[in-house]
Amino acid sequence: MVTADDVLAFVQDTTRSIWTLELLVLMQRDTGHAWRAEEIARTIRANICVALEGLTVLEQDAPVQVDGKGLFRYRPASPTSAEMVRNVVELYTRKPLTVVKTIHAGPAGEIQTFADAFRFRQ
């Protein structure tokens, strides 16, 4: 059984921005649609660069594939991956602030490591 903590860990590891999350939600809800980057940008009301960055992240993490014509499709690598994405979408629908806070926290320790680099040592 997948817990909310499992879903949030997945979000933290794979989703670097709210835009990427919105892309994932959009594409998961309309699995049969092949999307052009420009169409996605218009739909989520983002600039094309933001849309392309999110699509690149999702393509690397495997729930999205691009074909030779530049069309993006929701295609999870496995049934387990598809189930996790469904869980992400469901949790985001029920508890959007929890998911947003997880994304803003970033990968565990990354911000703290950056901040620690500027600490004065005595």
Residues 20-66: pLDDT tens digits? 999 999 999 999 899 999 999 999 999 999 999 999 988 887 789 99
What mean pLDDT do residues 61-87 have? 91
Residue 1's pLDDT is 82
95 with 14: CB under 8 angstroms?
no
Tokens encoding 78: 């496995």
**pLDDT reading at 89 higher than 70:** yes
Query: Tokens 């869980």 — which residue?
Result: 87
- Regarding pTM above 0.85, the answer is no
Residue 29's pLDDT is 92
For the stretch 9-22, what's the b/e string if a residue is b when 16 or more beta carbons lie within 10 angstroms of its beta carbon? Answer: ebbbebbbebbbbb
For the stretch 67-82, what's the b/e string if a residue is b when 16 or more beta carbons lie within 10 angstroms of its beta carbon? Answer: eeeeebebbbeeeebb
What mean pLDDT do residues 89-107 have? 92
